[in-house]
A and B are shown apart, each in its own frame.
Chain A
Amino acid sequence: MQALISGFADVLNIYTLAWICVGVTLGYVLGVLPGLGKATGVAVSIPLTFYLEPVAAIALLIGIAKGSAAGSAVSAILLNTPGEPSSAPTALDGYPLARQGKAQKALKMGLFASVIGDFLSTLVLICLAAPLARYALLIGPVELCAILVFSMTFIGGLSGKSLIKGLIAGAFGVLFATVGLETESFIPRMTFGLLELDDGLPLVPIAIGMLAVAEMIVQAGNMRQLDAETARIVDGGAPEDRVVLWSEWKRCLAPILRGTLIGSVVGILPGLGASVGSFLSYGATRRASKNPEEFGTGRIEGIAAAESADNAVVPASFVPLFALGIPGSVIAAILIAAFVLHGLTPGPRMFQEQPQLVAAVYAAMLCASGVLLLIGYTGQRIFAQVTRVPIRLIIPGVLFLCCIGAWMETGSIFAIYIMLAFTVFGFLAKKLDFSFVTFLIGFVIGPSAELSFRQSLQILDHRWTKLLDHPIALVFIALTLVVLVVLARGRSAGPAGGVRPARDPQITPTHHEGRIS
């Protein structure tokens, strides 16, 4: 505690605070701009960190991470173009709210949920980094595989109207995720001789193409209607639509806390990431709700759940970095670079050798939470005006930013081709009502699920009885089965038309399980 106070003493000076503000603002603005995000922020900031003091450099990077996670909600809500895949669930309810003239309400809830999730998760990091990280090591490939299989059951909950279409989209996600070099033998899979595909299809251009560019094309098709709506929104705008009401706070409290918990856990575990966190949290909140069918039409809890988890992942992903020296996320990997540049080695010895610096970093993270609230709150008023801008002026700007964002990460034109290819894919998915969220779940989870499954086979020595040594995995396998049964019953009992027999929802998960057990 005393260390933390002295840490604040190191941070609360104009110089460091200024860099925190720069980081948060930069991250937030990049997050807001469709197509740009963390990847861009990192590319911009790496050379900068060379010239800064250690604390300032680290504060800048942390600010970018926190800011972009919160900012990406803004474009998701206002334009239905999530800045990052982890904000895709935010758009599901945020955009309908914005079109109902409640953009400010949605934005505020998004920001508050982000900041709360971020702040609580930072506290988790500060209090529990060392013990939690040791515990996280117990989560080996076997447990991870079970958790990932469990995550896949959420495809059922996020499929939209048709479960079978949700599963098809999810399967496509898994299929596209198999592109690239196989890990063990380096055998290229579906690369068609293109060296650029050796490392797999890159997530960022795919997400930009499917989420942002395709959405712009759809909106271009509905220009008249959208502009007519925009005119109405300007005329409307009752005061209660601009703030988060007390009754809504009460409804959102549980989703925010649940989201924070899920986000923190997902962040600490290796190999999951922010997208999994927000998908899981959104799915869990939807499932816990009495009226799950209302999700997707503008339920504010959906925003609260997705954004709290999205932001809680960021500080939690530093837990393995600080405690063990293992990066839990892209930003964490960059942070290692920043530490090393200044002659520090992240890991447990950092606490003994550099307690002062660790305390200062913690203090900087807490300050960044506060700065995020300030900057987000101010920024929103400006960004919310976007809803008044005619769509024909927005589209070209967004498309330009999308190209930059896709190009930025690898600096190659190839990424833009990928973006365009997946724009077509995303456009067809939208028109035919296939869920891009389940596609992303498949794409993000697929490779980790495959690798952890193969690792599990080796660890279990191909004998399913050895599974008894992994109680955590057993719990998640049991949970998976329970969810599947519940899902199957709900579907077969439900009146919804066109629903396939109850066995279908199980295709993906049981396929995996059958092989494990």
Chain B
Amino acid sequence: MRDFIQRPTRRRLTGWLAAVALGLTGLAGMGTGAGAADYPSRPITMLVGYNAGGQTDLVARAAAQVMSDALGQPINVVNKPGAGGGVAARELTQAKPDGYTIMFHANSVVNNDPFLMKRITFTPEDFEWGGFITVYQAGLITQKDAPYDDLDGFVAWAKENPGFNYATLSPGARMIMQEIAKKEGLDANYMPVKGGGEMINAILGRQAVMAMSGGIHAKYPDDIKTLAVLTTFRQPSWPEVKSIDEFGYALGMDGRAGLMLPKGTDPAIVQALSSALQNAETDATFAKVTGAANIPIMFLDADAAKAEMERTYKEYGEIYRRAGVEPQ
């Protein structure tokens, strides 16, 4: 069904373009396959699987600018929202592996979403990885004036107050609280919320006593505090807040944003993109953009990114399976 809708048009379109290119230049076969030596010799398209204006989109655009300066070719950011990046990632798998179609996205589309959504079946092997530049500061959050200061305190409070409201953004967010509740014998109410803005609303408006945040709460230091961070390491914005693993729940997962490329892209091109991305580490404008949104910069190069993806895909899949979460 999907193919029926997508393919014929695409094929016709590419056919057309090919014909035009042929007619114009007469250089059939040269075209895009020019190879890594003179890469990049024309503008690059960067897919972003979220809406324009979101956090990841902002980082992507800032990164695109840095990379474009380094590579000497414009990088056009194209937003293809849908299915948490699934639509864009699928388009990437169908793109030519020539380095001229790349994607900037959260790695959760490969190491998280397949365990939640049955129709998203990506594995790390479906892509080449061009490096990660930022991390998401996910955490369990609550109101600043709440009577507890860390996850242990919350658990103690929750035992006295059964039926508390926990705002869940996604099945992943729900799973975290379910695992804690299962272990500690808590009675939680799960209140679904749509999107980060609504989640923040639920906390500021005191409709929920706790929520999982993907990192947006860093913008509200006066009203919101973090009880535990959900990454495997402590986060730069709250070095004093312990990670969920430190609290004794093996649920830590790291979300990173960076470059994905179609499978089979020339390793030299992957390297070129990875080192272009590395420039963002020290770029002042990039620092300003990420700093305003409190997004930490943690660069991993192409090789480290590939290893990270292979490891986390296995580990996170195991966390979801242990928790009994079935992809829907």
Which A residues fall within an 8 A CB radius of B?
42-43, 46-47, 50, 137-141, 181, 183-188, 192-196, 198-199, 270-271, 324-327, 333-334, 336-337, 339-349, 410-414, 417, 451, 454-455, 458-459, 461
Contact = CB atoms under 8 A, between A and B. Distances in A.
Interface in B173-215: 174, 189-194, 197-198, 200-202, 204-205, 207
Contacts of A47: 61, 77
Contacts of B84: 198
B207 A459 contact: yes
A182 to B, nearest CB: 8
Interface string B202-232: 1011010000000000011010000000000
A140 B205 contact: yes
Contacts of B198: 270-271
B1 A193 contact: yes
9 contacts: A184-B190, A185-B171, A185-B328, A188-B119, A195-B2, A195-B119, A337-B54, A410-B80, A451-B192
Nearest to A454: B192
Interface stretch (B93-101, B125-133, B244-252, B288-296): B288-296
A137 B204 CA distance: 7
Given A195-B87, A341-B58, A341-B289, A327 B197 contact: yes
Nearest to B200: A326
A198 B82 contact: yes
Contacts, number: 153
B317 interface: no
B53 A195 contact: no
Which residue of B54, B84, B207, B222 has the most chain A CB atoms within 10 A of its CB atom? B207
Interface string B114-129: 0011011000000000
A451 B198 CA distance: 11
A47 B60 CA distance: 12
B311 interface: no
Contacts of B37: none
B292 A345 contact: yes
Contact of B53 (A192, A196, A336): A336
Given A50-B61, A195-B2, A137 B201 contact: yes
Contact of A411 (B80, B120, B168, B289): B80
Contacts of A192: 1
Contacts of A181: 83, 117
A186 B116 contact: yes
B204 A324 contact: yes
Interface string B1-40: 1100110010000000000000000000000000000000
Contacts of A412: 80, 82, 87
Given A343-B292, A455-B192, A42 B207 contact: no
Interface string B294-328: 00000000000000000000000000000000001
B171 A141 contact: no
Contacts of B202: 140, 455
Interface of B: 1-2, 5-6, 9, 51-54, 57-58, 61-62, 65, 77-84, 86-87, 90, 116-117, 119-120, 163, 165, 168, 170-171, 174, 189-194, 197-198, 200-202, 204-205, 207, 219-220, 222, 288-289, 291-293, 328
B171 A195 contact: no
Nearest to B62: A341
Contact of B1 (A42, A194, A271, A349): A194
Nearest to A448: B194
A183 B192 contact: yes
Given A194-B1, A195-B86, A183 B293 contact: no
A343 B291 contact: yes
A349 B222 contact: yes
Nearest to A324: B204
Contacts of A349: 222
A184 B170 CA distance: 6
Given A340-B58, A349-B222, A195 B83 contact: yes
B328 A188 contact: yes
A328 to B, nearest CB: 9
A138 B191 contact: no
Contacts of A188: 117, 119, 328
Given A184-B192, A343-B291, A417-B5, A43 B117 contact: no
A413 B174 contact: no
Given A46-B53, A340-B58, A326 B197 contact: yes
B168 to A, nearest CB: 6
Contacts of A50: 61, 65
A512 to B, nearest CB: 17
Nearest to B84: A198
B174 A184 contact: yes
A455 B207 contact: yes
Given A192-B1, A458-B191, 12 more contacts: A47-B61, A137-B205, A138-B205, A186-B116, A195-B83, A199-B81, A334-B53, A340-B292, A341-B289, A347-B220, A410-B79, A451-B194
Contacts of A340: 58, 289, 292-293
A411 B79 contact: yes
Contacts of B57: 337
Contacts of B2: 193-195
B165 A42 contact: no
A326 B219 CA distance: 10
A324 B2 CA distance: 41
B223 to A, nearest CB: 8
A487 B78 CA distance: 49
Given A199-B83, A334-B53, A325 B90 contact: no
Nearest to A340: B292
A340 B65 CA distance: 16
B256 to A, nearest CB: 19
B292 A459 contact: no
A461 B165 CA distance: 9
A337 B53 contact: yes
Nearest to A414: B5
Nearest to B293: A340
Contacts of B87: 195-196, 198, 412
Contacts of B292: 339-345
A195 B328 contact: no
Given A183-B193, A270-B198, A337 B82 contact: no
Given A345-B292, A347-B220, A270 B81 contact: no
B219 A347 contact: yes
A271 B194 CA distance: 10
B52 A334 contact: yes
A183 B168 CA distance: 9
Given A324-B204, A326-B197, A337-B58, A459 B80 contact: no
Contacts of B200: 325-326
What 5 A-B pairs are tightest by C-beta distance, nearest first? Answer: A184-B192, A198-B83, A337-B53, A137-B205, A334-B53
A140 B203 CA distance: 11
A47 B62 CA distance: 10
A282 to B, nearest CB: 27
Contacts of B77: 47
A455 B167 CA distance: 9
Given A183-B194, A347-B220, A461-B163, A198 B86 contact: yes
